[in-house]
């Protein structure tokens, strides 16, 4: 295991010098090889499907099957090719003095460890995103997809090995690695010397386990407890479409709403309408006493339980609460939510802005469904995961570089240089559109 | 302790709504109160100086004394007032569809826990930076500065309490907190529910202890093992000024050079000159066998020990190694350095760029002293610490917000809205200079 991590680290060092053309030619080769290996890959996938036919739920079984998703997976590779190079982007340029310039430039993170569950196409998705962003990657998939993962990894490895030397010297085939057992992961989680970032994609228990077992930074979120707050100044029609869509568009997603908070002034008129719309879509409501009184009795109406407002249902259930004020809604979301995505429905700009400033979540929406919280919908291309971390970089991490001309710090202070000339910092910002320097 | 952390969290929630004017008026009040309390603060500082007269080294004693630094400390407050508001800055604006816009806006981190050692003026520096960036802060200073810290904290608290209600409602006096014992810290390091980021400023052992005892993200670096690499195409004059300055300008700093790597082609001519210049400044050289042979014997010339290339000397010592190639220099720096700041001296642009891409450090310099790695010299105003983390945000962390008009995700796909109208994403970037929306 340590050897794999070490190899990935070496590959990551080489990748620092890969240009966008290098990276795109590697992605193109992966695309071509996937097209060639299609039949063989699907045959391996079939083995997984047969082996797991009796033990997995229909939903997980569908996620495991590659046949219908193969074309989409191929298109995904082409999409990644089209993305801008995320590295070598300059976000700060400053003239510290004549011939002494500071640039902050994005660069790859290094070695990523990505742990995921059922869906085997993730092997391709993540490998392509890693290469495009100049990162080496170690993948660990679910055991139910073992044959599919090995086949897809084999195809990627073959593609990378087929590149010409100028490309393999900066994108070695060892840029992508696959490990398969739980024990491998325990070992890898200790190798903070080689691995820079862990991204667990999967169940809450997987994410929590990873967070508790490593000193490597973990990108991700354990819970997705999103709320829609319907304000006293909400437009009823918008409230209906946003609440219903946030809950039912794809209830198993982390960005689906699990809670509806509604202001007491509009609850008597609006809540019955919302409840009816939700009941029509087969949603069970767990209502607090105030809300319970306002909703007509129905099989799908239940009193809220003690943990209803801290539960990630991931199904057609929704906790409902009447609040006295915008402030109460914000406090409730900050205390019992998961800092993922929360939305306010209101026609009042000031109230929307107060909500957006005070709610401490990765995404705060005004008059839009929580389901929009997604890399594809944001136009970010594919998405590697949603993070609720507050202190990681979103996108490649910047690096400061100084381009000088032999300057010593000692010149900038009493005494000056060897001729006694004292230098002073200029600290002039260089407009980014005027930066002609190329960083790759 | 938990109560203090909880109070800081509440203050942090309020701070989300503080405008730049609010924050600057708070900083102005702190400045005025410091001017008024000067005599009393210095009297408390005198107590610390007397109590520690016999036990502390001269260097630490000097750091403890406030008298000569008081005016500079006051100027520091005014500098922070002058800084741009780091929050509410928009770094991404995108039109997803008509009336559906995505903005990424910087916002405060939340609650910071800052642990520092001897220098009491840090209480003022950090409190001001925290307020300016909209963060609540819990400070823990060294026990040798206890009376000074309490006095400075008291002044800040008085100043914040004196603000009018419109300001205290968004910048409560509990935005700044002081704790004093080691045990307090152990308790606080467990409170990841309330604290978002820990910044230990001090010895390597302090930083390592903190990193090992908490699940809260830690910003900082344990080691500062910086290198200067003198390339085969180096200009001798620049090499001399950069190597000497990197070592002697302030040897106790984390950005001082601890290692000199020199290409074998120039070592025979250049290394003797560099050695002489360093010996003249009283620098002891720990030379590898190759380098040892090239340098004339001298009391200050020692053979490198087994750990010489992994040591943060923090004094007038420097490890010296002859390397066969640029690649060997890069590998040595990545393997034995601390990913802080490293510099290449060369006249060749391609070689400089290879070094800057491949060296995996927070700062990579071309023909400039490593000592330039500093917030003040970068023109960042004061500096809260240097981070070697690769996956935290440098600067305030972005937050995605969507401004919609009632859109449901379901409209963007098969079926469309309730009238069957299918929506498509536009994903048009809005040029940042055209963003008229204000985020504070």
Tell how strand B341-345 and strand B363-368 pair up.
parallel
pLDDT of residue B394: 31
Token representation of residue B292: 């040892």
What is the pLDDT confidence band of residue B348, given thresholds at 50, 70 and 90? very high
Among the candidates B213, B245, B261, a domain finishes at: B213
Is residue B27's pLDDT more than 90? yes
What is the pLDDT confidence band of residue A399, given thresholds at 50, 70 and 90? very low
- B389/A138: higher pLDDT: A138
Is residue B1's pLDDT more than 90? no
What is the pLDDT confidence band of residue A419, given thresholds at 50, 70 and 90? confident
pLDDT of residue B169: 92
In the 8-state DSSP scheme, what is residue A434? Answer: G
Residue A177 lies in a domain: yes
Token representation of residue B4: 């203090």
- B327/B428: higher pLDDT: B327
Are A127 and A34 in contact, with CB atoms under 8 Å apart? Answer: no
Q: pLDDT tens, A371-384? A: 888 766 766 655 66
CA–CA separation, B211 and B202 (whole Å): 13
ipTM of this predicted structure? 0.74
Q: Does A391 touch chain B if contact means CB atoms closer than 8 Å?
A: yes
Are B304 and B290 in contact, with CB atoms under 8 Å apart? Answer: no
Among the candidates B372, B392, B426, a domain finishes at: B372
* Average pLDDT over all residues of chain B: 87
Identify from B219, B335, B386, B390 which residue to disrupt to test chain A contact, counting A C-beta atoms within 10 A and taking the largest count.
B390
Q: Mean per-residue pLDDT for A146-159? A: 97
Task: For residues B364 and B302, state if they share a domain.
Answer: yes
Q: pLDDT tens, B291-324? A: 999 999 999 999 999 999 999 998 999 999 999 9
What is the pLDDT confidence band of residue B376, given thresholds at 50, 70 and 90? low
Token representation of residue A270: 């609006």
CA angle B112, B389, A196 (to 5 degrees): 130
Q: What share of chain B is helix, strand, coil (3-state, %, to 5)?
A: 45, 20, 35
pLDDT of residue B398: 35
Task: For residues B202 and B273, state if they share a domain.
Answer: no
Are A337 and A309 in contact, with CB atoms under 8 Å apart? Answer: no
Residue B263 lies in a domain: yes
Task: For residues A202 and A333, state if they share a domain.
Answer: no
Task: For residues B196 and B257, state if they share a domain.
Answer: no
pLDDT of residue A339: 86
What is the pLDDT confidence band of residue A133, given thresholds at 50, 70 and 90? confident
- B58/B175: higher pLDDT: B175
Task: For residues B107 and B83, state if they share a domain.
Answer: yes
Is residue A397's pLDDT more than 60? no
Distance of CA A20 to the CA centre of its chain: 22
Residue B429's closest chain A neighbor by CA? A379
Q: pLDDT tens, B379-423? A: 665 566 666 665 543 323 334 456 666 777 777 677 777 788 887
Task: For residues B187 and B239, state if they share a domain.
Answer: no
Q: Which residue in the block uniquely carries the two structure tokens 């929580």?
A: A370
Q: pLDDT tens, A420-432? A: 888 777 767 777 7
Residues 66-105 of chain A whose Cβ lies under 8 A from any Cβ of chain B:
94, 96, 100, 102, 104
Task: For residues A164 and A307, state if they share a domain.
Answer: no
Are B395 and A357 in contact, with CB atoms under 8 Å apart? Answer: no
Q: Mean per-residue pLDDT for B155-168? A: 95
pLDDT of residue A250: 86
Q: Does A277 touch chain B if contact means CB atoms closer than 8 Å?
A: no
Chain B residues near residue A363 by CB distance under 8 angstroms? 399-402
Domain range for A300 is: 226-372
Number of domains comprising chain B: 2
CB burial of residue B269 (10 Å; 0-12, 13-18, 19+): exposed
pLDDT of residue B120: 92
Q: Does B284 touch chain A if contact means CB atoms closer than 8 Å?
A: no
* Average pLDDT over all residues of chain A: 87
CA angle A26, A27, A30 (to 5 degrees): 90
Q: Mean per-residue pLDDT for B136-143? A: 93
pLDDT of residue A153: 97
CA–CA separation, A176 and A128 (whole Å): 9
By mean pLDDT, which of B63-67, B250-254, B342-346 is the weakest? B250-254
Are A386 and A222 in contact, with CB atoms under 8 Å apart? Answer: no
Is residue B204's pLDDT more than 90? no
Residue B238 lies in a domain: yes
Task: For residues B55 and B131, state if they share a domain.
Answer: yes
Residues contacting residue B39 through CB under 8 Å, at least 6 positions apart = none
Task: For residues A203 and A255, state if they share a domain.
Answer: no
pLDDT of residue B397: 32
Is residue B18's pLDDT more than 60? yes
Smallest Cβ–Cβ distance between A242 and the set B242, B371, B408 belongs to B408
Q: Mean per-residue pLDDT for B14-19? A: 91
- pTM tops 0.90, yes or no: no
Q: Which residues pair with A229 in a beta bridge?
A: A261, A344
What is the pLDDT confidence band of residue B97, given thresholds at 50, 70 and 90? confident
Among the candidates B324, B347, B372, a domain finishes at: B372
Residue B434 lies in a domain: no
Q: Which residues pair with B301 in a beta bridge?
A: B285
Shortest Cα distance from B2 to chain A (angstroms)? Answer: 16
By mean pLDDT, which of A120-124, A420-424, B219-223 is the weakest? B219-223
Q: pLDDT tens, A187-244? A: 999 998 899 889 888 777 888 888 888 888 887 776 789 999 999 999 999 999 999 9
Is residue B282's pLDDT more than 60? yes
Number of A:B CB contacts under 8 A?
243
Is residue A345's pLDDT more than 60? yes
Residue B389 lies in a domain: no
Q: What share of chain A is helix, strand, coil (3-state, %, to 5)?
A: 45, 20, 35
Task: For residues A169 and A20, state if they share a domain.
Answer: yes
Chain A residues near residue B367 by CB distance under 8 angstroms? 403-407
- Contact (CB<8Å) B427/A379: yes
Identify from B101, B404, B411, B431 which residue to disrupt to test chain A contact, counting A C-beta atoms within 10 A and taking the largest count.
B404
Task: For residues A231 and A150, state if they share a domain.
Answer: no
> What is the CATH number for B318?
3.40.309.10
Residue A413 lies in a domain: no
- Contact (CB<8Å) B404/A197: no
Task: For residues B6 and B122, state if they share a domain.
Answer: yes
Shortest Cα distance from A326 to chain B (angstroms)? Answer: 14
Residue B440 lies in a domain: no
Residue A78 lies in a domain: yes
Q: Mean per-residue pLDDT for B174-185? A: 91
CA–CA separation, B174 and B26 (whole Å): 13
What is the pLDDT confidence band of residue A113, given thresholds at 50, 70 and 90? very high
> What is the CATH number for B109?
3.40.605.10
């Amino acid at each position: 295991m340590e050897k794999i991590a070490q190899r990935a680290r070496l590959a990551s060092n080489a990748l620092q010098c890969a240009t966008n053309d290098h990276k795109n030619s590697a992605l193109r080769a992966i695309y071509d090889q996937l097209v060639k290996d299609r039949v063989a890959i699907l045959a391996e996938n079939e083995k997984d499907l047969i082996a797991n036919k009796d033990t997995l739920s229909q939903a997980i079984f569908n996620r495991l099957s590659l046949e219908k998703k193969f074309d989409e997976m191929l298109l995904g590779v082409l999409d990644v090719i089209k993305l801008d190079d995320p590295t070598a982007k300059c976000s700060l340029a400053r003239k510290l003095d004549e011939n002494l310039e500071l640039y902050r430039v994005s660069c790859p993170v290094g070695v990523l460890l990505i742990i995921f569950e059922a869906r085997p196409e993730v092997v391709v998705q993540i490998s392509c995103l890693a290469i495009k962003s100049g990162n080496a990657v170690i993948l660990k998939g679910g055991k139910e997809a073992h044959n599919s993962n090995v086949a897809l990894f084999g195809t990627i490895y073959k593609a990378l090995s087929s590149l010409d030397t100028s490309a393999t010297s900066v994108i070695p085939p060892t840029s992508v690695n696959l490990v398969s057992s739980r024990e491998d992961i325990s070992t890898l989680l200790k190798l903070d010397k080689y691995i820079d970032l862990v991204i667990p994609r999967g169940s809450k228990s997987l994410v929590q386990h990873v967070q508790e077992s490593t000193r490597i930074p973990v990108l991700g979120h354990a819970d997705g407890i999103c709320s829609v707050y319907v304000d006293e100044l909400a437009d009823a029609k918008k409230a209906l479409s946003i609440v219903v869509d946030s809950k039912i568009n794809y209830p198993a997603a982390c960005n689906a709403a699990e809670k509806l908070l509604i202001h007491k002034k509009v609850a008597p008129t609006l809540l019955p309408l919302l409840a009816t719309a939700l009941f029509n879509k087969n949603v069970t409501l767990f209502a607090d006493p105030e809300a319970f009184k306002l909703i007509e009795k129905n099989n799908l109406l239940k009193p809220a339980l003690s943990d209803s407002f801290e539960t990630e249902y991931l199904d057609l259930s929704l906790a409902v609460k009447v609040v006295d004020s915008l402030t109460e809604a914000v406090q409730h979301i900050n205390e019992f939510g998961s800092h993922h995505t929360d939305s306010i429905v209101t026609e009042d700009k000031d109230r929307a802005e107060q909500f957006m400033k005070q709610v401490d979540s990765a995404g705060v929406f005004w008059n839009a469904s929580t389901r929009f919280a997604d890399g594809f919908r944001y136009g970010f291309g594919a998405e590697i995961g949603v993070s609720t971390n507050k202190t990681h970089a979103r996108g490649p991490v910047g690096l400061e570089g100084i381009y000088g001309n032999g300057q010593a710090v000692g010149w900038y202070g009493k005494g000056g240089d060897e001729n006694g000339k004292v230098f002073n910092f200029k600290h002039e910002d260089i407009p980014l559109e005027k930066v002609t320097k190329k960083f790759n």
